[in-house]
């Protein structure tokens, strides 16, 4: 097959975000594992390369016109999620946004096949866009190969020092959108810091005094309405000394942060996939997550808590933080085994199968 792929996400502000990482890793995986096909690239505004068999748009935004209105070649598009449409009260589109969604929905209905990351997102696409389930392929993502357990203690020591991190901390990586449930996480952390939740912790006040919450993501350090609300909550509850806002980090540091964390928390109300869960598992970090949207599909042996209940999030975190060494090793091993089913080799293979289906 001669395959054209739109690489626009690699040329925009999405380069270091989810859709950019997906586009980059997909291209690398296709070239590595499915090298018997030829790949041709273009960006928005450029003409689709000549003499190709199929065109793949690896991104979709319901409120931004990205798909071609007219086309003659088979079209495959990746729709990671439709969260803004699932929760319109939290993601107001405005008149223009609603009009653009009507155009996008029409264009989506004219594509040959749709790739999505989870069964949860597939259900949303069927319900909200009216797409036939037979036209949708679920291809679950995987952590990038860079995410692994680090044995070099000097590397970890350096990163710990650079970010001034304590021996024990809870890690969160991601955006600050409503669906991420940042306030539920902050409330749970406040509970942990304000009282001993379990008799096993009595006499172990040092854990509560030194424990920090480390927040990774550009949204935490850039000016926005959401960031201001988060900062106001942190200040009002006197949590500033216990929270580290890291902002964006380079890949090598992110891998080390996962390795150093005592627990990784993904508190989301809803996700189209939830890649940090698999990244943390790959780095040997005990994971606490919810069953929101697709997360229940990838949680596996992770601890699952109720996103609407800060007390339950706090309970899950404390269970993970106070886990006996043997249980922690067992949990990490189970997560590692679980995570092996998610690989970019499989993503590449299943993506090629989706292309073949589009050409059939």
Is residue 97 exposed (0-12), middle (13-18) or buried (19+ Cβ within 10 Å)? middle
Question: Please, are residues 179 and 87 in contact by the beta-carbon 8 Å criterion?
Answer: yes
Digit-coded pLDDT (tens) for 150-175: 999 999 999 999 999 988 999 999 99
Residue with tokens 């850039």: 222
Task: Tell whether 147 is covered by a domain.
Answer: no
Question: Rounded distance, CA 144 to CA 28, Å?
Answer: 11
Among candidate residues 98, 105, 156, 101, the one with its CA nearest the CA of residue 129 = 105
120 shares its domain with 172: no
167 shares its domain with 106: no
Question: Rounded distance, CA 339 to CA 65, Å?
Answer: 35
Report pTM: 0.93
Question: Rounded distance, CA 214 to CA 114, Å?
Answer: 36
Which tokens go with 203? Answer: 């006499």
197 shares its domain with 60: no
**What is the span of the domain harbouring residue 305?**
153-339
127 shares its domain with 233: no
Maximum CA extent, the chain: 71
237 shares its domain with 353: no
Question: Rounded distance, CA 166 to CA 160, Å?
Answer: 8
Digit-coded pLDDT (tens) for 218-273: 999 999 999 999 999 999 999 999 999 999 999 999 999 999 999 999 999 999 99
**Distance set, CA 153 to CA 214, 247, 259 (Å):** 20, 24, 10
Number of domains in the chain: 2
Which tokens go with 212? Answer: 């920090």
Digit-coded pLDDT (tens) for 122-141: 999 999 999 999 999 999 99
Q: What is the CATH number of the domain that holds 64?
A: 3.40.50.2000
């Amino acid at each position: 097959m001669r395959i054209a792929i739109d690489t626009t996400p690699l040329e925009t502000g999405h380069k270091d975000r989810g859709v950019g990482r997906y586009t980059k890793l997909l291209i690398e995986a296709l070239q590595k594992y499915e090298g018997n096909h030829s790949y041709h690239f273009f960006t928005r505004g450029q003409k689709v390369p000549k003499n190709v068999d199929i065109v793949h748009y690896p991104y979709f935004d319901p409120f931004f016109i990205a798909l071609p209105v007219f086309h003659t070649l088979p079209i495959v598009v990746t729709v990671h999620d439709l969260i803004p449409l699932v929760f319109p009260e939290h993601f107001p589109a405005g008149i223009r946004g609603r009009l653009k969604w009507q155009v996008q929905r029409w264009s989506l209905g004219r594509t040959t096949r749709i790739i999505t990351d989870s069964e949860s997102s597939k259900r949303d696409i069927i319900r909200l866009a009216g797409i036939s389930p037979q036209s949708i392929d679920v291809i679950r993502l995987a952590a990038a190969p860079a995410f692994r357990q680090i044995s070099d203690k000097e590397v970890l020591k350096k990163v710990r020092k650079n970010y001034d991190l304590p021996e024990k901390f809870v890690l969160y990586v991601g955006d600050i959108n409503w669906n991420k449930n940042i306030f539920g996480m902050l409330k749970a952390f406040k509970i942990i810091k304000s009282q001993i939740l379990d008799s096993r912790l009595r006499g172990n006040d040092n854990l509560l005094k030194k424990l920090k919450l480390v927040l990774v993501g550009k949204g935490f350090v850039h000016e926005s309405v959401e960031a201001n609300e988060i900062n106001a909550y942190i200040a009002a509850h006197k949590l500033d000394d216990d929270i580290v806002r890291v902002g964006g980090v380079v890949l090598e540091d992110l891998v080390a942060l996962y390795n150093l964390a005592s627990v990784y928390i993904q508190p989301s109300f809803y996700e189209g996939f939830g890649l940090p869960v698999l990244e943390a598992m790959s780095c040997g970090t005990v994971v606490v997550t919810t069953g929101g949207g697709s997360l229940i599909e990838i949680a596996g042996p992770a601890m699952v808590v109720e996103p609407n209940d800060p007390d339950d999030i706090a309970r899950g975190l404390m269970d993970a933080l106070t886990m006996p060494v043997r249980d922690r090793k067992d949990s990490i091993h189970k997560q590692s085994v679980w995570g092996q089913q998610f690989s970019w080799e499989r993503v590449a293979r299943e993506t090629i199968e989706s292309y073949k289906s589009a050409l059939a």
